[in-house]
Amino acid sequence: MRGLHSRNALHSTRACVGGSSDTAANLRGACAIALAGCALDKITILTHLVDPARDPEKPARIDAVRAIDQVSVSKHLCYCD
């Protein structure tokens, strides 16, 4: 979970042609995917995936949404009887 919420990871940028590039976006995305496979309860996992789903970097957002999908499919996210 450190990779999802680390301040250093969120603000790690490097200079590139035309601006800066977030070098930690792939790390945050990989951490989101890994979190989906953890043995935590689904509400805890989904709570931790809310912020990454709003990440400013597209690759991290995409992986967070994929992780949310994995949790909802693999753990049968349903509140109905």
pLDDT band (50, 70, 90) for residue 25: confident
Q: What's the DSSP call for residue 14? A: E
Neighbours of 73 (CB within 10 A): 10
The residues spanned by each domain of the chain are: 2-74
Per-residue tokens: 44:
């805890």
User: Where is pLDDT greater, at 43 or 72?
Assistant: 43
Of 28 and 16, the structure prediction assigns the larger pLDDT to 28
> How big is the CA angle at 44 (ends 49 and 38), to the nearest 5 degrees?
80
